[in-house]
Amino acid sequence: MGTVHALNRKGEMEYALLVDRLEQLVLRGEKMDQARGYLQREEVWRSLPWESALRWARLARIAGLRELCLSILNWMVVTWPDREEARDMRTELLLELGRGPVPVEAVQAAQTPPSLDFDDKLTDSFTAMRSRESAVRRYLDLFQGREDVFARQWADKEAGTQGYVPVRRAIQGEDILEHLQGRKTYGIYLLQEDSRVCLAVIDADMHPRLRTDKLSAADRDLARRERDYLLRRLPELGRELGMPCLTEFSGGKGYHFWYFFAEPVPAALPRQALNRLVKRISPDLTCFSLEVFPKQDTLAGKGLGNLVKLPLGIHRVSGKASRFLQVRDPSPWAQLKVLDNIGRIDVEILERHAGGLDPEQGATVLVHPRHQAWADDFPELARLADACPALGQIVASCRMSRTLSVRDEKVILGTLGFLPRAKTLIHHLHQSLPDYNQHLVDYKLSRVRGTPLGCKRIHSLLNMTQDQCLFENAASYAHPLLHLPDWIDQEPEVKSERVENLQAALDSLEGAIRQVRRFLRPAQA
């Protein structure tokens, strides 16, 4: 380990030099067995000061020693109970390992929780070992890149830089296990030697200005809304075109949307088809930039083409594990199980959409049954969510059961509150929220007055900078409800109290029926 054994004559450890040297070895993937051995020396890490101990825990996590990382963090939350960084990292790691949060009191009683390590779970029995082999084969079968070379990620965490070095051989199951265990991180070159691909990716990265903890409240709300909108809308658009995807948090600065093909296809086909999706959704986004990989149609010269990091590994700079968002359980085994149900896209579908044909001009649109049922029940919401980026983002947050900000709610009430079915629509959106209060929603709705919120005011409230929508029949006062074909600007109709009460009762009954059906759906599935 060389300078890793940095002890002075008085027996005092030069902590900064020690951790710096270990960090260089771990991030570069050099002398990993020696590095892991030193990281596991309990008498060393228990003598570290706070800052060095936190770095030590991060290095253990990057090196694939997640149980060691958890042990260090357990010691830290007991030793320094007022420091939040270790507590937050410990909570995140417990979720990553597939465990619920453990109270600090329980940690004090037992420093080392029962091991649920990925290897332990998979090798407890012959059956588990066979399951592991099957899962790895499925992983290799889906994530096929160039046949004779793949890549290993390196990182300089202090400089915040990272890159890949080619590994000149075919990737093997043992490499996948190293990747899944976090010991190393690998990527694949998407184009095969004949310039065909078995999969493609839409890479969604958050803009650099938003990759900081010092964001304003307005920027945080905007980034949250756009994230929810992106994660729901892009897969939804793909399903409508018969191109489903697997969504992954990359562990770094954004998300990957994976598209798998029934057979290797010329790279130009998925590039053109996926760029069509990107072109459709990009105007609605200001916080994320979207790119399609591969970026080239054919290999040129001695180049290897575009590379994408394989999923479910540790990002060497952030130290975070990537995960598939379709599965709530972040443990590796549960994450791998989702691959059993991944569908592949036929070449005919890619050919149909590669030419840029608009669905309304003859392409077959395959709408997911659940989305179609939602659109049939709430056509106003479906139309507005598709046509208005601002409302689309808020509707996506509601459907994903996120908490709405005060400004989000003001926009919802100031637009949908003027529709004939205002009560039904607004209660439907709020029913999925964790803080839903039927009577409070009714009260707020009863306070709606005047005219719908205008586009300019909505963009100001939501901190949106993209261009506002253009309407064919240009109105002096533009607002989102003009997207509805039946909308007519007029004074609200005066209704008799009896008719209004009967309608309110009917709306409440319909809402209750939908709520019951929502709870019954999992039992019937």
Residue 521: what pLDDT?
A: 56
The SS3 assignment for 169 reads coil
pLDDT digit string (tens) for 145-186? 999 999 998 877 677 677 889 999 999 888 998 888 888 889
Residue 255: what pLDDT?
A: 93
Mean pLDDT rounded to a whole number for the chain: 78
Name the percent of the chain lying above pLDDT 70.
77
Highest mean pLDDT out of 262-266, 359-363, 435-439: 262-266
Q: What kind of fold does domain 122-361 have according to CATH?
A: DNA primase, PRIM domain (3.90.920)
Residue 248: what pLDDT?
A: 92
Highest mean pLDDT out of 245-259, 347-361, 363-377, 453-467: 245-259
Query: With 60 as the cut, is the pLDDT of residue 356 above it?
Result: no
Residue 501: what pLDDT?
A: 55
Instruction: Indicate the domain borders of the chain.
Output: 2-116, 122-361, 369-524
Helices 389-399 and 217-240 pack at an angle, to 10 degrees, of: 90
Query: With 70 as the cut, is the pLDDT of residue 123 above it?
Result: no
Query: With 60 as the cut, is the pLDDT of residue 274 above it?
Result: yes
Distance CA 508, CA 418 (A): 18
Query: With 80 as the cut, is the pLDDT of residue 111 above it?
Result: no
pLDDT band at 127 (very low <50, low <70, confident <90, very high): low
User: CA 76 → CA 52, 108, 110, 359, distances in Å?
Assistant: 11, 11, 13, 57
Give φ, ψ of 319 to 5 degrees. Answer: 75, 5
Tokens 């798998």 — which residue?
Answer: 260
- Would the pTM count as exceeding 0.75? no
Residue 345: what pLDDT?
A: 92
Query: With 90 as the cut, is the pLDDT of residue 201 above it?
Result: yes
Calculate the CA 457 to chain-centre distance: 30
Question: Tokens standing for 294?
Answer: 């591969």
pLDDT band at 109 (very low <50, low <70, confident <90, very high): very low
* Degrees, nearest 5: CA angle 248-289-414: 95
- Taking the CA atoms of the chain, what radius of gyration do you get in angstroms? 27
Query: With 70 as the cut, is the pLDDT of residue 103 above it?
Result: no
Name the percent of the chain lying above pLDDT 90.
15
Question: Tokens standing for 92?
Answer: 């995140």
Highest mean pLDDT out of 11-25, 60-74, 190-204, 288-302: 190-204
Mean pLDDT along residues 264-281: 91
Query: With 80 as the cut, is the pLDDT of residue 195 above it?
Result: yes
The amino acid that residue 227 corresponds to is R
Residue 115: what pLDDT?
A: 41
